[in-house]
Structure 1
């Protein structure tokens, strides 16, 4: 793993980003149905599906809503891309102030949550984009094979879009303890955390599997796998929880560690910078006020460009007038006597005017050196 965070920019704290794969059919129909439902219930202010080229394998959806009692506007853009194993999606949302994990998850503005999923695989939108079989929102038992366990955790840790939580069961849990811990997380975290579970017998194996990542899973506890690359000053010991009770109670210490971890200024996941730029630069779902502000900005840019063109035109006009004056003086001046010393002629003045319009010569120094060598030869 790299220990440097200088390779990629850090996403602003106002941004929420997630990535996944929908393995069911008709991904676009599922999203359209949920967006319409969210608008009808008032959860969304509006949504739109921007046009894309007919031959494109991408589909884009935009949505806008308000959070924090309607005082903060959030905008989100979801992009679907066709893949062999379904439709891969990237979702980037941005608010007017730093993102609060207690706000509704942007994922549930586009995808079904809870009992909203219909038949035909509508709920299958939460698969991990890079590791086959892993899912968000549920428990992912670690493989029984040690080498396969190591591969799964290593590959999952490489994908910085998700937060990877590894939990070791101190004893075999009952039905309540087998429920996912992520269901007790704040909404903004629930759809970005992958919960890996190690059985009581896998304690040694799971610590062997994460050894190269620089972390250790406490017996009966949990640890957060570090991002790659890790941010400056990152200490993995701060994100290990010694005891996690799988009895249905709220894991307060674990939730606090996850919130701290999510707030770290981590390098942007691969593709997140481009997705954020797409959200900001190609946003189409504008209010009337936003459209007016955009047009005012365009008018200001046009005015600035016009002013620069006007200044350039005036400079050329002034130079042309001086050239005309020099030409007129040249016509009216009689030829000078053959041997009498003469002041600078109008023709020379005209030449100086045009020289003033030329760009400065390049390679002046080599020319001076050549002249100097000529002088040495004459001597």
Structure 2
């Protein structure tokens, strides 16, 4: 998985993306691309969120899928978030996914947290408060790798070559290089105390980010000397590469972007569409089987309930009129039937009210007549 976040500060970011994707598809640098229909329907405003998808292959026919979301313009440009995922572990030699959406150079090339360039050297401001604020924001950023380089002496043009030109392709759009002038060493280290790192005189340090990756040790990512003479700063390149290879926690917001990439993907091949439909059909079949089984169980339970109710009514019909079996709300029909039969064993007299003296005479007189009958 490869994450990146930046900011497009110029006009017509959507038009730039459409044009670049169309060119890359025509040149077969990417296999296919798509602007998700109505992706900004619920965002509102003049610049709603837009979503673009692209698919390409890297060496050994490994497929990479990537999703770029372009946020609404809230002032200061439009923030973009890019998540790419490959079928195999990411190789640093693979092309940067940024180059599959944006042109080589353009207004997109700015860090979202600080607004600084992702490909050029950034000189720290002269005001101490601005230095502290900028480095504090950089130290808390989890999307980009921030590197602070101190110039032991003022450099010439040979020393103004950006670090990114020597980095592996995958890292060239994820690194922000801060340059501190010779007189700024004290204020820089004062600003970095909260991150427990320090820049050596004439050296450099890779900031841990927030949250810091597991295994980060400031000593391992501190370079004592960086020669700013136009030659490759090999030790610094190695430190940045090692840092990028550490198990990285997902930066803030990357989890949602990764979920959208995996679960809301639209750019499907024919085989993927068929596989998705087969999976959907299997899901429907399983749901239908479960519904059928539930229906059969319900039908069986209903038939048994009707049988019990019929038996209960037969037993209730044998009881004298006006008498209702007790406990009807708390016992089953089978229990009610059993209790009714037990009560019938005592005879009809036990269920009738006590007779008066007159009733006894009538019963006595009626007895022989009934017996003769």
TM-score normalised to structure 1 length: 0.80
Give the aligned partner of residue 347 of structure 2: none
SS of the residue corresponding to residue 136 of structure 2 reads helix
Q: Please give the alpha-carbon distance, in whole angstroms, between the structure 1 residues aligned to 2:126 and 2:334.
A: 88
Give the aligned partner of residue 83 of structure 2: 92
Alignment of 1:342-353 (within 5 A): 350=333
Q: Please give the alpha-carbon distance, in whole angstroms, between the structure 2 residues aligned to 1:233 and 1:61.
A: 35
Q: Please give the alpha-carbon distance, in whole angstroms, between the structure 1 residues aligned to 2:229 and 2:77.
A: 36
CA positional deviation for 1:138: 0.5
> Pick from 222, 229, 243: which aligns with 1:240?
222
Alignment of 1:270-281 (within 5 A): 270-281=252-263
Q: Please give the alpha-carbon distance, in whole angstroms, between the structure 2 residues aligned to 1:38 and 1:245.
A: 38
SS of the residue corresponding to residue 53 of structure 2 reads strand
Q: Which has the larger radius of gyration?
A: 2
CA positional deviation for 1:184: 1.0
Alignment of 1:193-204 (within 5 A): 193-204=175-186
CA contact under 8 A between 1:146 and 1:209: conserved in structure 2?
no
The count of corresponding residues between Structure 1 and Structure 2 is 324
CA positional deviation for 1:213: 1.4
Give the aligned partner of residue 68 of structure 1: 59
Alignment of 1:207-286 (within 5 A): 207-286=189-268
CA positional deviation for 1:262: 1.2
Offset from partner CA, 1:270-306 (integer Å, 9 cap, x none): 1111111111111100001111111111112112212
TM-score normalised to structure 2 length: 0.81
> Pick from 90, 95, 102: which aligns with 1:104?
95
Give the aligned partner of residue 152 of structure 1: 134
CA positional deviation for 1:104: 0.5
Unaligned runs of 5+ in 1: 1-14, 115-122, 338-344, 354-379
1:130 aligns with 2:120: no
RMSD: 2.4
CA positional deviation for 1:232: 4.2
Q: Which has the higher contact order (CA 8 A, sep 6+)?
A: 1
Offset from partner CA, 1:117-144 (integer Å, 9 cap, x none): xxxxxx1111121224x11101000112
CA positional deviation for 1:348: 6.0
Q: Please give the alpha-carbon distance, in whole angstroms, between the structure 2 residues aligned to 1:206 and 1:349.
A: 82
Give the aligned partner of residue 69 of structure 2: 79
Offset from partner CA, 1:307-363 (integer Å, 9 cap, x none): 2212221221111111122123234446269xxxxxxx9x9652669xxxxxxxxxx
Give the aligned partner of residue 5 of structure 2: 19
Q: Please give the alpha-carbon distance, in whole angstroms, between the structure 2 residues aligned to 1:124 and 1:214.
A: 34
Give the aligned partner of residue 51 of structure 1: 37
CA positional deviation for 1:230: 2.2
SS of the residue corresponding to residue 176 of structure 1 reads helix
CA contact under 8 A between 1:137 and 1:194: conserved in structure 2?
yes
Give the aligned partner of residue 309 of structure 1: 291
* Shift >6 Å, 4+ stretches: none
Offset from partner CA, 1:44-84 (integer Å, 9 cap, x none): 00001011244631111110000124x21001111111221
CA contact under 8 A between 1:147 and 1:209: conserved in structure 2?
no
